[in-house]
Amino acid sequence: MKIGNQHFRSLWWNEQHQVLQIIDQRLLPHEFRIQDVETLQDYLNAISQMRVRGAPLIGATAAYGMAHAMMQDPSDSGMELARQALHDTRPTAVNLRWALDRCRQVLLQTPIFDRARVALQLAHELADEDVAINKRIGEHGLTLIREIAARKPTGEPVQVLTHCNAGWLATVDWGTATSPMYHAHDAGIALHVWVDETRPRNQGALTAWELGNHGVPHTYVTDNAGGHLMQHGEVDLVITGTDRTTRRGDVCNKIGTYLKALAARDNQVPFYVALPSPTIDWSIDDGVAEIPIEERDESETTHIQGTDGDGMIRTVRVSPETTRGGNPAFDVTPNRLVTGLITERGICAASAEGLAELFPEHAQNE
């Protein structure tokens, strides 16, 4: 997507210096900074410290991490050590495991002397695949927005609410939940997006930054405003992303998504989830019981980052010194609360049958 007049992906390979470059998302929306990822520890830090974040982007970063590792030590033991270290950075997003498993499968069939080249080519392919998948998600999601727009009075915008950041910053490009919004805006459909702040890390600010750069009208609201907006008819559609979806359509996404789904059901607002197929975990059924929920550092809840009056980025404490912070990073929305899943192959019901219809090759293997 564009920042000013320049097109950026969320990560890219610098051919001249043979190094991965990323946007350090910890500093957004206040500062745009590019970081070189030069060592395996840099890759581990990029993922665990959320310099890169979002399930698809984590997977792509891990693939480049494997390529880097093969440049250093292409042996079987070197590959396995790097794979395990990258796998352990974050437990919830299934794309991380998917990308690493795909890398290992290919590399085990590759002669050691050629592993560095093959691993880098595979990382490029995974990144390009992600862009193409997310573009198709946007094209399918556009049909939902177009249908709502056709029912509204001329000039009245379609009101979409989203939670967390499932934009191009969370993928390689386009985003998942935001892709239909970008496609609708580019198609000339009047659109307004309610952007949840998404505490504790305020990823909604990243969504607002993205939408603003693309010219999409939007409003930044507190997490608890969504139900109120729905009660008063100010939301036509909810679209979120997901970090892991079970084979029966339960959705694990940023903490607070479940509450949005409950409010949407109570107010008869369609609740859709946009997801690339690598985010589906075909090995599990019950998301509440089976998906591990990452518990992040309590400082993310007790402190908050922003800019002061001089434009300097500061971190301040918002809770009493003696109060502990709890920080589950995700929650699970049961499939009964999900109107439908927007995938690169089309839109389906959030059910085992719906997913099996779109992805029969996976359903048959289970």
The pair of three-digit structure tokens given for residue 295, joined into one six-digit string: 């518990």
Residues contacting 68, CB < 8 A, separation 6+: 20, 37, 39, 40, 43, 82
Q: Is residue 288 a contact partner of residue 256, using CB atoms and an 8 Å limit?
A: no
- DSSP H or E segment with residue 45: helix 40-48
User: Cα-flanking dihedrals φ and ψ of residue 16, to 5°?
Assistant: -65, -45
Q: Is residue 226 a contact partner of residue 196, using CB atoms and an 8 Å limit?
A: yes
Q: Omega before 360 cis (within 30°)?
A: no
Active-site option among 173, 196, 223, 243: 243
Q: Is the dihedral of CA 302, 306, 308, 309 positive or negative?
A: negative
- Integer Cα distance of 199 and 74 in angstroms: 41
310 catalytic, yes or no? no
- Integer Cα distance of 152 and 145 in angstroms: 11
Instruction: Name beta bridge partners: 317.
Output: 303
Q: Are strands 280-281 and 6-7 parallel, antiparallel or unpaired?
A: unpaired
- What is the 3-class SS of 101-141, one letter each residue? HHHHHHHHCCCHHHHHHHHHHHHHHHHHHHHHHHHHHHHHH
Catalytic machinery residues: 243
